[in-house]
Amino acid sequence: MPHPRASSAKFYGSIPALITPFRNGILDERAFQTMVERQIREGSHALVPCGTTGESVTLSFKEHMRVVELCVETAAGKVPVIAGAGSNNTAHAVELARAAKDAGADAVLVVAPYYNKPSQDGMVAHFAAINDAVDIPIIAYNVPGRTVVDISAETMGRLAKLANVVGCKDASADLSRVARHRALCGEDFSQLSGEDPSAIGFNAEGGVGCISVTANVAPALCARLQDATRQGAYDAAREIDDLLAPLHKALFVEPSPAPAKYACSLLGLCSDEVRLPLLACSDTAKAQVRAAMTHAGLI
């Protein structure tokens, strides 16, 4: 049986993986705060600053922590803040998790170590080191398309025995894992999707929410979709997803988060700047994003 752990009850629903707005290469603090306020106003259930979508790998440590601090300050306890604290350097991941706790984050999102290609035992050791160093709820993030390594269902079961590991974000797009994780990790293990297009199916299998890119652009619709699935109203959820489906696709037509930033620029929320090695959207991608936003009734 999994080890008794910190409560996972508050990590559910529509959880935007927030973009980090820049202006002339500098963190745009005002724009970020405005976006956080909008997310809360439109019904998002929690917030993730400094994840992959937040271009965390191009942020300095000082910038990373400033974004987390701004998110915590602006959220002001209205919704949980799950701070990105992932690294392929375990010592750095511990440093990020400690700083996130000091900044007042409610939990940390820790991605599987990328590039190094650790074994399953190595990944367990990585998460165990963070678990033992910092007393804060941990959500383990499996995204093999970006990290090259896959946290197997059996390994996730081992991670669930760590006292602070309260759930997972799964972006494997394998919906059969939800039942497998439930069997290995326990019913109270918070399973969050990392794939907007399959979020309804993920919840139907037993998931409780989605850490979402689309919610940057359409927070109210994403929140309504998640609320509908929590109520078992899957017909209503599908109607909303029909509006969002072109947007789910358009936001990944070029490397993320460039399309999401362009979409938010159309809403007057921020500039469309990204940091190298990413590039701003091409005209072709911009046309697809605009068309998807029109379909969803956003512009």
DSSP for the chain, please give it: -PPP----TT--EEEEB----EETTEE-HHHHHHHHHHHHHTT-S-BB-SSGGGTGGGS-HHHHHHHHHHHHHHHTTSS-BEEE---SSHHHHHHHHHHHHHHT-SEEEEEPPPSS---HHHHHHHHHHHHHH--S-EEEEE-HHHHS----HHHHHHHTTSTTEEEEEE-S--THHHHHHHHHH-TTSEEEES-GGGHHHHHHTT--EEEESGGGT-HHHHHHHHHHHHTT-HHHHHHHHHHHHHHHHHTTSSSTTHHHHHHHHHTTSS-----TTS-PPPHHHHHHHHHHHHHTT--
Name, in order, each residue with C-beta under 8 angstroms of 6's C-beta and a sequence gap of 6 or more.
Answer: 137, 163, 164, 166
Are the C-beta atoms of 77 and 105 separated by less than 8 Å? no
Name, in order, each residue with C-beta under 8 angstroms of 141's C-beta and a sequence gap of 6 or more.
Answer: 51, 86, 109, 110, 111, 112, 168, 169, 171, 194
- Minimal CA–CA distance to 258: which of 272, 248, 244? 272
Q: For residues 51 and 74, what is the distance between their CA atoms, to the nearest angstrom? A: 18
Residues designated as active site? 141, 169
